[in-house]
A and B are shown apart, each in its own frame.
Chain A
Amino acid sequence: MSASVAPRAGYAWIKRFGLPAMLGAVLFVLVVLPTAFMFIGALMSAGMADPAAHFTLAKLQTVYTTLPYLRALGYTLAMAGGVAALACFVGIALAWLVARTDVPRKRLLEMCMIAPLFLSPFVGGLAWLILGSPKAGLLNVLARDLFATKGAAINVVSTTGIVCVMALYFVPYAYLTISSSLRNMDPALEEASYLNGAGVFATALRVTLPVLRPSLISAFFFIFVLAAGTFSIPAVLGGASRVPFLAVIVFETTAAYPIDYGKSAAVGTVLFWISVMGVAFYRYASRAANRFVTVTARGFSMRLVKLRGWRWPAVGAIGVYVLLAIVLPYLALIYTALTRYMTSSFSKASYSLDNVRWAADSPEVIESIWNTLLVGVVSPTLCLALAVVLAYAIRRMKIRFGRTLDYLTMFPIAIPGIVLGTGIFWTYVTTPVYGTIWILVLAFVASYLPFAYRIGDTALMQIEKSLEEASALCGASHRGTLWRITVPLIRPALLSGWVMVFIFSVREISAAILLASPSNEVLSTISWNYLDYGDQQKAAVLGLVQTLILISGVLAGQFVFRVRLTQAV
Chain B
Amino acid sequence: MAQLKVENLVVRYGDVVAVDGVSFGVGEGEFVSLLGPSGCGKTTTLRCIAGLESASGGRIEIDGQVVADGPREVPPNLRGVNMVFQSYAVWPHMTVFDNVAYGLRTQRVSRAEIQTRVAEALRLVGLTGFAERFGTELSGGQQQRVAVARAVVTAPRLLLFDEPLSNLDAGLRERMRFELVELQRRLGRTSIYVTHDQSEAMVMSDRIILMHKGRIVQEGTPQDLYERPSCRFAAEFVGSANLLSGVLESVSADGFGMVALQGGLRLRARLPGHAPAAGLAVLVCIRPESVQLAGQASGENVFPAHVSRVSYLGGVLNCAVRAGSLDFRAEFPAHSRMQAGTDVDLRIAPDNVIIVPDSD
Q: Is the interface of B mostly helix, strand, loop or mixed?
A: loop
Judge whether B150 is part of the interface by a CB distance below 8 angstroms: yes
The total of chain B residues at the interface (CB under 8 A) is: 35
A202 at the interface (CB under 8 A from B): yes
Q: Would A196 and B87 count as touching, CB distance under 8 A?
A: no
User: Is A211 a contact of B52 with CB atoms below 8 Å?
Assistant: no
A198 touches B106 (CB 8 A): yes
* A196 in contact with B91 (CB, 8 Å): no
A188 touches B85 (CB 8 A): yes
The answer, yes or no, to whether B77 is at the interface (CB within 8 Å) is: yes
- Would you call B221 an interface residue if the criterion is a C-beta within 8 Å of the partner chain's C-beta atoms? no
- Name the interface residues of B20-57: CB closer than 8 Å to any CB of A: 43, 47, 50-53
Q: Is the CB of B102 within 8 A of A198?
A: yes
Question: Which residues on A sit within 8 Å (CB–CB) of B43?
Answer: 300
Task: Judge whether B83 is part of the interface by a CB distance below 8 angstroms.
Answer: yes
Selected A-B contacts with CB under 8 Å, 16 pairs:
A186-B87, A186-B89, A188-B86, A191-B83, A191-B85, A193-B102, A194-B76, A195-B50, A195-B77, A196-B102, A196-B103, A196-B154, A197-B78, A197-B107, A297-B166, A300-B47
Q: How far is the CA of A85 from the CA of B110 in the complex (A)?
A: 37
Nearest opposing residue in chain A for B84, CB measure: A192
A189 / chain B contacts, CB cutoff of 8 Å? 89, 91
Residues of B within 8 A of A184 (CB): none
Closest to B106 in A: A197
Question: With A199-B75, A199-B77, A213-B93 in contact, is A192–B85 under 8 Å at CB?
Answer: yes
Q: Which of A197, A199, A298 gathers most chain B CB within 10 Å?
A: A197
Docked complex Cα distance between A541 and B103 (Å): 60
Interface flag for A294 (CB, 8 Å): yes
In whole angstroms, what is the CA distance A387 to B166 when docked?
42
CA distance A33 to B53 in the complex (A): 59
For the complex, is A458 an interface residue (Cβ under 8 Å from B)? no
Nearest A residue to B162 via CB reads A188
Q: How far is the CA of A303 from the CA of B50 in the complex (A)?
A: 11
Interface residues, chain A, with chain B CB atoms under 8 Å away? 186, 188-189, 191-199, 202, 206-207, 210-211, 213, 291-292, 294, 296-298, 300, 303
Q: Give min CB distance, A436 to chain B, whole Å.
A: 54
Complex contact A297–B93 (CB within 8 A): no
In the assembled complex, which residues on chain B have CB atoms less than 8 Å from the CB atom of A197?
77-78, 103, 106-107, 154
Q: What would 11 more interface pairs be, CB under 8 Å, given A192-B85, A197-B107, A300-B43?
A: A191-B50, A195-B81, A196-B154, A197-B78, A197-B103, A197-B154, A210-B94, A211-B91, A294-B87, A297-B86, A303-B47
Known: A186-B87, A297-B167. A195 touches B82 (CB 8 A): yes
Q: How far is B78's CA from A192's CA once the two chains are assembled, in angstroms?
A: 13
Q: A-side binding surface: helix, strand, loop or mixed?
A: helix
Specify which chain A residues have a CB less than 8 angstroms from the CB of B78 in the assembled complex.
197
The yes or no answer to B70 lying at the interface (CB within 8 A) is no
Which residues of B have CB within 8 Å of A292? 92-93, 136
A207 → B minimal CB distance (Å) = 6
A192:B83 contact, CB within 8 angstroms:
yes
Identify which of A192, A199, A298 contacts B150 (C-beta below 8 A): A192
In angstroms, how far is the closest chain B Cβ from the Cβ of A218?
16
**CB <8 Å contact, B82 and A207:** no
List of A residues within 8 angstroms of B167 by Cβ: 297
Is the CB–CB distance between A202 and B92 below 8 Å? no
In the bound assembly, the distance between CA atoms of A195 and B102 in angstroms comes to 10
On whether A195 and B93 interact (CB within 8 A), knowing A188-B85, A297-B167, the answer reads: no
Interface-centre pick from A189, A198, A199 (highest chain B CB count, 10 A): A189
Counting chain B CB atoms within 10 Å of each CB, the highest count among A188, A207, A211 belongs to A188
How many Å lie between the Cα of A196 and that of B102 in the bound state? 7
Tell me, in angstroms, the Cα distance from A197 to B77 when the chains sit together.
4
1/0 contact trace for B85-109 toward A, CB 8 Å? 1111101111000000011001100
Residues of A within 8 A of B102 (CB): 193, 196, 198, 206
| The 4 nearest A-B residue pairs measured at CB | A196-B103, A188-B89, A197-B106, A188-B85
> In the complex, which of the residues B52, B89, B103 contacts A303, with contact meaning CB atoms closer than 8 Å?
B52
What CA separation (Å) do A326 and B156 show in the bound complex?
50
Query: A294 — which chain B residues lie within 8 A by C-beta?
Result: 87, 92
Measured CA separation A189–B87 after assembly (Å): 9
Cα–Cα distance between A213 and B76 once the two chains are bound (Å): 25
Who on chain A is nearest to B38 by CB? A298
CB of A309, distance to nearest CB on chain B (Å): 15
Residue pair A194, B77 in contact (C-beta under 8 Å): yes
Residue of A nearest to B107 (CB): A197
Convert B141-185 into 0s and 1s, putting 1 for each residue whose CB lies closer than 8 angstroms to a CB of A.
000000100110010100000000011000000000000000000
- Complex CA gap A195/B77 in Å reads 5
CA distance A125 to B151 in the complex (A): 53
B150 touches A207 (CB 8 A): no
**CB-based contact A192/B53 at 8 Å:** no
Give the most central of B47, B87, B150: most A CB within 10 Å.
B87
Which of A196, A207, A294, A296 has the most chain B CB atoms inside 10 A of its CB? Answer: A196
Nearest Cβ on chain B to A287's Cβ, whole angstroms: 14
A293 to chain B: closest residue by CB:
B92
By a CB distance below 8 angstroms, the chain B residues around A196 are 77, 82, 102-103, 106, 150, 154
**Cβ–Cβ < 8 Å partners of A198 in chain B:** 77, 102, 106
Task: Select the residue from B75, B76, B78, B82 with max chain A CB neighbours within 10 A.
Answer: B76
Task: Give chain A nearest CB distance to B77 CB in angstroms.
Answer: 5
Contacts of B86 in A (CB 8 A): 188, 297-298
Interchain CB contact under 8 A, B106 and A202: yes
Question: Inside 8 A of B107's CB, which chain A residues have their CB?
Answer: 197
Tell me, rounded to whole Å, the shortest Cβ–Cβ distance linking B164 to chain A.
11
Chain B residues near A192: list those with CB within 8 A: 83, 85, 89, 91, 147, 150
How far, in angstroms, from A268 to B285 measured CA to CA in the complex? Answer: 83
In this complex, which of B77, B156, B166, B167 has the most chain A Cβ atoms within 10 angstroms of its Cβ? B77
Q: What CA separation (Å) do A192 and B88 show in the bound complex?
A: 9
Chain B residues, Cβ within 8 Å of A202: 106
CB closest chain-A residue, reference B85: A188
| A297 and B87 contact, CB distance less than 8 A | yes
**Nearest CB of chain A from residue B344's CB, rounded to whole Å:** 46
Which chain A positions have C-beta within 8 A of B82? 195-196
Instruction: Find chain A residues with CB under 8 A from B92 CB.
Output: 211, 292, 294
A303: chain B residues at CB < 8 Å are 47, 52-53, 76
A303 to B11, CA, bound (A): 14
Chain A: which residue is nearest B54 at the CB level? A303
B93 cross-chain contacts in A, Cβ below 8 A: 210-211, 213, 292
Q: Which of A186, A194, A291, A296 contacts B75 (CB 8 A)?
A: A194
Bound together, the chains give a CA A432 to CA B150 distance in angstroms of: 72
Does the CB pair B76–A195 fall under 8 Å? yes
Task: Give A132 Cβ to nearest chain B Cβ, in Å.
Answer: 41
Determine how close the nearest CB of chain B comes to the CB of A100; give it in whole angstroms. 13
Contact partners of B136 in chain A: CB under 8 A? 291-292
Chain A residues near B77: list those with CB within 8 A. Answer: 193-199
With A297-B86, A297-B167, A298-B86 given, is the CB distance from A194 to B52 under 8 Å? yes
Alpha-carbon distance A195/B91, docked complex (angstroms):
14
Closest residue of A by beta carbon distance from B108: A197
B166 to chain A: closest residue by CB? A297
Query: What is the CA–CA distance of A210 and B154 in the complex, to the nearest angstrom?
Result: 23
B165 to chain A, nearest CB (A): 12
Complexed CA–CA distance, A211 and B82 (Å): 21
Quote the shortest CB–CB distance from A126 to chain B (angstroms).
43
Determine the chain B residues whose CB is within 8 A of the CB of A211 once the complex forms: 91-93
| Smallest CB gap from B89: residue in A | A188
Interface residues of B in 221-241 (CB under 8 A from A): none
CA of A207 to CA of B103, assembled, Å = 12
Given contacts A211-B93, A303-B52, contact A195 B87 (CB under 8 A): no
Q: Given the complex of chains A and B, what is the CA–CA distance between A213 and B94 in angstroms?
A: 13
